[in-house]
Amino acid sequence: LVIFSIYPYPLDLPPLALRSEPPVVGDFVIMVGCDRNRGEPTSWDPNGEAFPPPELEGWTWGPDRNKVWGTNNVDGFPGSKILGTVAFYTSFDDDEIFPEAQVTAGDSGGALFIVSGTTVELAGLLYAEAASPGQPEDTSLFSNLSLAARIDFYYDDIQTAMALPEPQYGLLWGLIALIV
């Protein structure tokens, strides 16, 4: 994760609210990313033709990438770090909200906002998809998970980094001159 400062701060841009409390299962979220467009409907049978469980429905990934957004709900918390990150997840279902969002390749670093009434807070950063073992590539199927790093867990570190003073450019140029 990289934090950077916009300086000078745009006066007409309100500050981004960071969530300092853990998400709650069922929280309504808006996910924003730069991923693949939805392609054609598809299905896949994870158990093979000999077994009766139903196929998983979903979509193939389209060829184009765009800034996209969608909605979902917080569904749970992994019991341990996933890829070294404290996270929460949403589940891609067909029985909740439309358009329900699911991460795809290219969404890493995208924003996940929790919306409650008129309050909107950055609660997570998208970083991974959890697909079924053997799932065909470039598909999003119902039951896939979207993982987001928990802003509340990293909140104190973020606040500390944001409180650091702006670099003094004269000193910076002096250090660059010493290196050259």
Contact 113, 70 (CB under 8 A): no
Question: Which value, to the nearest 10 degrees, does the dihedral of the CA atoms of residues 121, 95, 68, 2 take?
Answer: 50
CA-nearest of 127, 113, 35, 104 to 73 is 113
**Predicted TM-score (pTM) above 0.75:** yes
Question: d(Cα 153, Cα 81) in Å, to the nearest integer?
Answer: 12
pLDDT digits (tens), the chain, 180 positions:
666 667 777 778 788 899 999 999 999 999 999 878 888 999 998 887 666 667 899 999 988 888 888 899 999 999 899 999 999 999 998 875 566 889 998 889 999 999 988 999 999 999 999 998 999 999 999 999 999 999 999 999 888 887 776 655 545 554 454 454
Can you list the alpha helix ranges (DSSP code H) found in the chain? 151-163, 169-179
Question: d(Cα 160, Cα 91) in Å, to the nearest integer?
Answer: 32
